[in-house]
Structure 1
Amino acid sequence: MYPFLILLFFSLAGYSQTQISGQTFNDQKEKLSGATVMVSKDSVSSILAYAISDANGKFKLVLKNESDSLLLKVSYLGFETFKKTIQNKSQTLEVILSPSSESLKEVLVKSEILQQRGDTLSFSVAAFKDKNDRVIADILKKLPGIDIRPNGQIFYKNEPIQKYYIEGLDLLGGRYNLANNNLSANSVSRVEILENHQPVKVLDSLEFSERASINIKLKKDVTVSGTMTAGLGALPLLWETNVTPMIFTKSRQAIVSYQSNNTGRDVSGDIRNFSINSGENFDIDKTDWLSVQNVSQPPFSAERWLDNNVHLASANILQRIKEDLDLKLNISYLNDYQQQDGSTQTRYFTPTDTIDLIENTNNDIFVNKLEGELTLENNADKNYLKNQLEFNGFWNANRGLIDRSNSQIKQQLDNPFFGIKNDLRLLKTVGKQLITFNSNNGFTETNQDLRVQPGPFEAIFNDGNSYEEIQQMVSSRKMYTHNSAGITKALGKFTISPKFGFSFQNQQLDTDIFLENGEEVLDIDFKNRTEFVESSVYFKNAFSFKSKDETWNLSLSTPLQFKSFRLEDENFEEARELDRLVFEPYFYAKKKLSAFWDAQASAGLVYDFGELQQLYYGFLLNGYRNLNRYNAPISEETRQNYNGGLSYRNPLKQLFLNASYSYSYTEKNLLYSSSIGENGTTLLEAVARDNSFDTHKFSADGSKYFRKLKTTFKLNTSYNLSKQQQLLNNTLTELNTRSFTLRGSVDAELSNWLNANYSGTVVTYTSGFGERDFQKIETQQHTVDLYFYLKENQYLNVSGEYYGNSLSENGNNYFMNLGYQFTFQKPKMDLNISWRNILNTDEFINAYNNQYYYVQSSYRLRPSQLLATLRFSF
């Protein structure tokens, strides 16, 4: 195969800049304003440049392309489309359009709506902004092709964005909710979608990217913006504060924020990190070995149910030291106290029986979190350097009280965590090749302590007799290093990237169980003194190809890796070892079928091996009714992944469509056995037995902006089917699950005095053993928002919500809210008065399935309450 590829190598021609200008007229030599002018390589290739003729009929296009000829296409409503093949050189043209009695198939796109240049789509903020829109997130959710999920993560064409820039700078490093929720929409001129975006400049012509990024274009070179909010309310006493100033210049950007409230607004989402991990880097995310039993949280706005008292401080500063060299600091501190009050009814299905469990839960949750990043980045055309130092610290604690029919259970968990890591990435041009070097090093430590009163699992710990208390203690440490070096070289339209690397990870786990009066459980089956060492050496060769006309993008990765695992526990004589030489090829292909249609496909083979969380010998009391251990060989999984998709993107019609199918087949050497007791206690163990697991997923989504109606319509659907084997109460069975999801939204400006927004989701989930379905559930949620503009500076907001499920007798939940906003012109300030939960719905009934059990929960909600806020956006 490699000799065949080498024979296909040919030289890369240099790109030159071409400027095409001209003027459009009708057959009477009258100037045509608003004519759509497009340039592409040919009739099936993507648009290279796009413009709208001005009031004098003039237009100008600037593009870079190596083709000898170009296709010029000019269209105007009521006239025949003008097409002409022109030479690829700077020139001035005169275009005369002839009248046509035929209706045009294309929609005329005015320049204030959308522009396209190459792989960049530019949406006008003013064209989508309504009177009630205040921050840039209000605009993004209306843009066709873009979807903002409930947690704030942004998706484009059903894939998460990889970067969020403000004026081309990545200030927030994945924590873009802070800007989305506080940057004034009045400060933004355009939102750019950077398709197939390669964030590293030196790789731009070497490695293509199928992901998109977002760039926020501001109106001024020096922009001072942000939000200041102060609110007071009643039933109970409520407060809300948000001070988030921002400044953006060509050499400096800064966002500083302090937020505090007890109104239920979850400000922790503003520092949630949506960065896409390459898969080779070590994460310092917190691992929860132990937990307090929680109530299932409602699937809607936290302002309805979250009983909190939160404080968040964040500082984000970026300084451009010199051209292409940036120094960035991101640091935040979160302090939150939450209360949960609710009840849960759980029904377990086994092949021979059903088991019911009812719990009334009251929890106190204390969160203290400090995290920060210091980043130095030099992103130049020929060299790249990025060094990022990151740390996370948690000082969390949970307190829980559970009432059952015949007992009351207290839980107390202390859950501290500390982690630090440093990532270094260096790319340097040497001659005609690019030298690459990566180094990733990290360390984490956690010491967790769970106390349960009275003690569970009496038959195991106290000969079947009740006892007063059990204490589970866990100490875990992890050290990690991963280093690699390679070269990247372009050979014509091909790029080859061989890379050599090695990694080493050492994890230690110490666990002990104590009973009442500090009595230690000495049985080695309930202790762990585990050391797990994982090391690997690999050689990875990657190939990519981009055709001359840019209609084909191909990539092939062929990593060969030797992995070694060794697990020892001083309580057990026998160690577990595993050495494997694995080959994990991955192939990706993308074909541009026309200017609007794309097709893509991928296939890959992945090997997964056990983590320490599924390897320890001794039993661990993970929760008050969950006792787990994995006294089995090191787990091995071999997974085949296949994916195919078709997408349609027509920016001229503001229409985006996507459809995809994926299939995954996994072979495993371990089967997990769950023994469920009559009181709901679960004993989980791993059993050495070959088994398989396969999943199918179909998904499709579409979005369309109707300019005349000023309406954005979005629809998304997916269907999932999976099969896997499971041991339940010592009986082998096949678990089948099926789920169907339909989501849609409409954002419409019905008139100059009325706006309407609708969003809805319907989910059907079915699970069963073999050919027998034991449970099917349908859940729905629908939300309608109406904005009545009483005057230019006033509006009334009425909203209603419905949530329901097919399992619960009282599963229908209704909510209604009322709001009034008055805008002062001098100073520019909004006074908002809201009446939340008018119906005073005091609890939410929810139900959901998960493989072999279903849960029906009741969550205590916030009462009906009034809140008045003053909001100043600048």
Structure 2
Amino acid sequence: MKKLTLTCWLLLAAFSVFAQKPLKGLVKDVSGKGVESVNVTLKDAEGNIINFTRTNKTGAFSMELKNDQIAGYKIEASSIGYKKLVTTVTDAAKSYDLTLHPSETTLETVTVKNRPSLTARGDTLNYRPSDFADKQDRSIGDVLKKMPGIEVAEDGKISYNGKSISNLYVDGDNLLDDKYNIGTKSIPQSAVDKVQVIQNDQPIKMMRKNNMSDDVALNLVLKDEAKLKVMGDATVGAGMPARFDENLTAMLFNKKLKFINNLKGNNIGNDPGIDLTSHNLSDYLKKLDNDRPNALLSTGAAGVPSLPQSRYLFNKAGLLNLNNLYKFNQDLQLRANLSYLYDHRNQQYNKFSQTYLSGQTISYSESQNNTINPQKLRAQFNLNGNADKYYLNNNFVLDYTPFKTSSGFVINNIPANQVLRQETLDISNEFNYRKKLKSEDVINLYSYLNHTTQPENLNITPGLNADILNNGNSYLGLSQYIRIPTWYTNNYASFAFVNNRFVQTYKAGFNVQQQKLNSELYRTQNNGLTEAVSGHTVNDLDWLKTKLYTDATYEFTNDKLKAGLSLPLSYNLIKYSDDINQLDKRLDKLFLNPSLNIKYQTSVENYVTANYSFRNDLGGIDDVYRGTVLKNYRSLFANDAPISESKAHNIAAGFNYRKAMQMLFVNLMASYNDVELNTISSYSLSNNIQQRVVLPLSNHIRTLSFNTNASKYLFALKSTISGGITYSQSRYDQLQNNELFAFTAQTISYKLGIEAKLTNFINWSYLANFSVTDNKAKVANAIKTNFQQLRQQSTLAIATVKNVYLNLSAEHLFTHQSTQPNLKYLFADMNIKYKYLKMKTDFEFGITNLANIKSFDAVYLSANSLTTGTYYIPGRVAMLKATFSF
């Protein structure tokens, strides 16, 4: 029996071999000489690849044909330096002689020798970091900001030709999940072979054939030697007055295991929490459609000055950041991202604020001395299966963020103290499964489950605003309590019909949000009695929001055009009740929110985009509570309106221009947004307190914006220059002290920068930003405010003697406001570094804020309000550090 089976298998194999026929040919150049290593591809009538090969030394090629059905088959021959040749297959037995003609310009691959170069292949642009790096550059983040077309913001966010990147991959793997700052700061630039910009990035393999993605991603391709062992560095630093800076980082990037694990702490004003920044969080939350409110209480602090954080932050912080990825095989991986941040901050400032109304000016002054203790604990586990036929992604996240602020403050010469405690626990699980059928159609199942608790307590002593909160009698204090536990789930199933370049996707799902808002505002009398301020300062609100939705999406893509039309239809039901405030409401709405997106490739490197969307939205639980809430020591908020409803039209258009060979990048974008609301916030302002009530009144907000950016590498000067202009105008209404004001706010800003290599041992960078803001109210005796600010930053890096490097930097700020004195500041820093190569150690001595500036004045404009503030900042700091690399 075994012999018979083996014989059958051999016969089947033999028939299979004899059934296959070779398709042969010869590829020559115009002189008749055979061309070696030409890519020869056989495609069917629909463009699918049937087989492919390369020519041998004589230019000959041979490919197997599995059957005689060759109708519409074509042979494509392509090679660098030659024009692509396409020939129709008419006879499988025929030998095809193909003649390639030389091509003077090759857009598929551009290589410029003896100077910084880029190579472009399809949607991927390759930078070589070594072409842009200087001897002082340590991390890949230091080099990215010097590359034309790439911009790195102060918070670490990366953009390419005006568009924020969606992911930063390390050798093709998503190790850091959008929190990529630790990667750009830690990975040595010498370990990176290429920085790849991937346009139209589609991480899901099965969707790449009909790719509608417009995302841009960066991929760091590591050198082979960087994958062989654990590498990293350790920093020990001490300084005056009483400063420390410590860091330990270990990294490994092999095929099975990748990790970046980091432990750091400092009190020099560097916030380690920036490493945990999720740069695309707003887009992710929008996709989840879970619009729970943020924290409702605050200390009423003045915010932060318009300075880099390292210049104003008094901190003592530590961070443990662990990022580990294990690949079971090419298609299955497990990732764990764990972090814990502990921070202790101090903040001191004085503030004076004026709000201009018709015939009166509301003003108040205050000072605060704050002690802030933020903590963040995050655990994320991700299981990802990504194959040609299926996609599985399960993401579990736990976030715990206790936050405490203690303040001593004086408002209009009245001293008081406050303590704010906030504690958020957020647990979620997101599941996504896609399956490609034999027909190429795709099934998608999705489920998201989330539970959040966020208790908040605000205590103020002694009691303030007795005329409003205690019948004019003095009292000991106020206590505001809020609890908003939330359950939320979103689930859907979709089916995509794939027909070559046209895809139809039909989706059906539901989401449910259940919340309960409990709040009480208590006062403590001088005799120690604690009581509710009134019956109108208590909330016991139950909220249930349900949405049933369908979505029909139609997408078309070819070599020139990508177009997508989405027609989501939803039935929205909201029920909310509060027996204490005699509230029992129900709202049901049917919404159609269409959107249209078009991208047209005007040439190989350039494209235009156009987008339109119309969206109906309903407000949340914080729009409808009736009991008054003490938001902070000088703000009382309540509502006397139905659920907020908005109708928003948005239209946008853009143009992206790129010339890789010349290293020139230009982008333009214009948009108009029109939002109509059925509610407006009414503010009652006095010198001591503001009270807000949301009222049922139509409100229109119109915003027009335009921005353009350009970046160019100047080969002769070995420099990257960049510039940009941003313009925005908003029209909106404000209701203050029973007066309705129509405001127009307009801002225009300019930026100009250069990264220059002046000589082989001197590098210079310069960045300038100038902005002008105008606010105007359309009433008699119109309220007008004007604000101008110029910020300049410059650094000179000098390689002095062997392995000794000197850095001199300065930052200048100029602020002009028509009713205030001009503000001028000049900060200067110095740093000297010695590289001890035998020990792989850098010794570094630096002084920041050489001028020893200890206070900073700032001016802020908002509609008809002007605020001036004085912040106390760290003075001169001297640091000595040693960094050992391994």
TM-score normalised by structure 2 residue count: 0.87
Give the AA of the match of 2:448. Answer: N
CA distance 1:532–1:335, change in 2 (3 Å): same
Matched, 1:867 2:874: no
Partner residue in 1 for 2:667:
658
Asked if the contact 1:284/1:420 (under 8 Å) is kept, the reply is: no
Rg (Cα) greater in structure? 2
Overall identity of the aligned pairs, in %: 26
Give the AA of the match of 2:831. Answer: G
Asked if the contact 2:364/2:412 (under 8 Å) is kept, the reply is: no
Return the alpha-carbon distance in structure 2 between the equivalents of residues 259 and 316 of structure 1. Answer: 14
Give the AA of the match of 2:806. Answer: L
Asked if the contact 1:22/1:95 (under 8 Å) is kept, the reply is: no
Match of 1:855 among 832, 843, 867: 867
Return the alpha-carbon distance in structure 2 between the equivalents of residues 283 and 317 of structure 1. Answer: 29
Matched, 1:475 2:483: yes
Q: How far did 1:631 drift? A: 2.1
Give the AA of the match of 1:222. Answer: L
Matched, 1:782 2:782: no
Partner residue in 1 for 2:313:
306
* Residue aligned with 2:433, SS: strand
Asked if the contact 1:844/1:860 (under 8 Å) is kept, the reply is: yes
Match of 2:752 among 744, 753, 758: 744
Partner residue in 1 for 2:113:
110
Matched, 1:157 2:161: yes
Give the AA of the match of 1:530. Answer: L
Q: How far did 1:96 drift? A: 6.8
Return the alpha-carbon distance in structure 2 between the equivalents of residues 315 and 73 of structure 1. Answer: 45
Give the AA of the match of 2:810. Answer: G
CA distance 1:382–1:96, change in 2 (3 Å): closer
* Residue aligned with 2:575, SS: strand
Partner residue in 2 for 1:619:
628
Matched, 1:373 2:380: yes
Return the alpha-carbon distance in structure 2 between the equivalents of residues 593 and 263 of structure 1. Answer: 50
Partner residue in 2 for 1:227:
233
1:762-773 mapped onto 2 (5 Å cutoff):
762-770=770-778, 772-773=782-783
Count matched residues.
810
* Residue aligned with 1:109, SS: coil
* Residue aligned with 2:112, SS: coil
Partner residue in 2 for 1:8:
none
Could you tell me which runs of 5 or more consecutive residues in structure 2 were left unpaired when the two chains were aligned: 1-23, 41-58, 60-71, 90-95
CA distance 1:92–1:872, change in 2 (3 Å): farther
Match of 1:602 among 611, 625, 629: 611
Partner residue in 2 for 1:210:
214
Matched, 1:715 2:720: no
Q: How far did 1:797 drift? A: 0.8
* Residue aligned with 2:808, SS: strand
Matched, 1:249 2:257: no
CA distance 1:23–1:464, change in 2 (3 Å): farther
Q: How far did 1:305 drift? A: 1.4
Match of 1:675 among 680, 684, 707: 684
Matched, 1:463 2:471: yes
Q: How far did 1:281 drift? A: 1.7
Deviates more, 1:373-382 or 1:290-299: 290-299
CA distance 1:614–1:22, change in 2 (3 Å): farther
Return the alpha-carbon distance in structure 1 between the equivalents of residues 178 and 590 of structure 2. Answer: 35
Asked if the contact 1:295/1:340 (under 8 Å) is kept, the reply is: no
Matched, 1:809 2:821: yes
Q: How far did 1:522 drift? A: 5.7
Match of 2:276 among 257, 271, 274: 271
Asked if the contact 1:348/1:854 (under 8 Å) is kept, the reply is: yes
Q: How far did 1:767 drift? A: 1.2
Return the alpha-carbon distance in structure 1 between the equivalents of residues 233 and 569 of structure 2. Answer: 52
Partner residue in 1 for 2:9:
none
Return the alpha-carbon distance in structure 2 between the equivalents of residues 67 and 509 of structure 1. Answer: 67
Q: How far did 1:427 drift? A: 0.2
Return the alpha-carbon distance in structure 2 between the equivalents of residues 176 and 20 of structure 1. Answer: 49
Q: How far did 1:345 drift? A: 1.4
Matched, 1:539 2:550: yes
Matched, 1:564 2:573: yes
Return the alpha-carbon distance in structure 2 between the equivalents of residues 610 and 554 of structure 1. Answer: 31
Q: How far did 1:452 drift? A: 1.4
Give the AA of the match of 1:833. Answer: F
RMSD of Structure 2 on Structure 1 (CA): 2.9
* Residue aligned with 2:838, SS: coil
Give per-residue Cα distances to partners, 1:457-495, cap 9 Å, x unaligned.
Answer: 322211223332111111110000110001112113110
Asked if the contact 2:321/2:340 (under 8 Å) is kept, the reply is: yes
Give the AA of the match of 1:551. Answer: K
CA distance 1:591–1:284, change in 2 (3 Å): closer
Q: How far did 1:832 drift? A: 1.1
Return the alpha-carbon distance in structure 2 between the equivalents of residues 250 and 84 of structure 1. Answer: 36
Return the alpha-carbon distance in structure 2 between the equivalents of residues 139 and 488 of structure 1. Answer: 42
Matched, 1:426 2:433: yes
Q: How far did 1:206 drift? A: 3.0
CA distance 1:68–1:732, change in 2 (3 Å): farther
Partner residue in 1 for 2:658:
649
1:839-854 mapped onto 2 (5 Å cutoff):
839-854=851-866
Partner residue in 2 for 1:317:
324
CA distance 1:522–1:861, change in 2 (3 Å): closer
* Residue aligned with 1:660, SS: strand
Give per-residue Cα distances to partners, 1:224-279, cap 9 Å, x unaligned.
Answer: 33332111101x11110010111110011111111001111111001112244173
Partner residue in 1 for 2:267:
262
Give the AA of the match of 2:682. Answer: S
Matched, 1:192 2:196: yes
Partner residue in 1 for 2:12:
none
The structure showing larger relative contact order (alpha-carbon pairs under 8 Å, at least 6 residues apart) is 1
CA distance 1:85–1:773, change in 2 (3 Å): farther
Partner residue in 1 for 2:646:
637
Could you tell me which runs of 5 or more consecutive residues in structure 1 were left unpaired when the two chains were aligned: 1-17, 32-36, 40-57, 59-65, 76-81, 101-105
Return the alpha-carbon distance in structure 2 between the equivalents of residues 24 and 863 of structure 1. Answer: 73
Return the alpha-carbon distance in structure 1 between the equivalents of residues 850 and 122 of structure 2. Answer: 50
Asked if the contact 1:295/1:859 (under 8 Å) is kept, the reply is: no
Return the alpha-carbon distance in structure 1 between the equivalents of residues 76 and 801 of structure 2. Answer: 52
CA distance 1:331–1:96, change in 2 (3 Å): closer
* Residue aligned with 1:866, SS: strand
CA distance 1:302–1:227, change in 2 (3 Å): farther
Asked if the contact 2:523/2:533 (under 8 Å) is kept, the reply is: no
Partner residue in 2 for 1:581:
590
Give per-residue Cα distances to partners, 1:142-186, cap 9 Å, x unaligned.
Answer: 122211111111112222111110011101111100111111111
CA distance 1:315–1:19, change in 2 (3 Å): farther
Partner residue in 2 for 1:61:
none
Return the alpha-carbon distance in structure 2 between the equivalents of residues 506 and 284 of structure 1. Answer: 11
Give the AA of the match of 2:488. Answer: Y
Asked if the contact 1:812/1:845 (under 8 Å) is kept, the reply is: no
Q: How far did 1:788 drift? A: 1.3
Return the alpha-carbon distance in structure 1 between the equivalents of residues 166 and 521 of structure 2. Answer: 44
Asked if the contact 1:393/1:417 (under 8 Å) is kept, the reply is: yes
* Residue aligned with 1:553, SS: strand
Partner residue in 1 for 2:13:
none
Partner residue in 2 for 1:397:
404
CA distance 1:473–1:690, change in 2 (3 Å): same
Return the alpha-carbon distance in structure 2 between the equivalents of residues 96 and 565 of structure 1. Answer: 68
Q: How far did 1:202 drift? A: 1.3
Return the alpha-carbon distance in structure 1 between the equivalents of residues 741 and 420 of structure 2. Answer: 35
Give per-residue Cα distances to partners, 1:684-742, cap 9 Å, x unaligned.
Answer: 11111122111000111111112332211111221110111111110111011111121
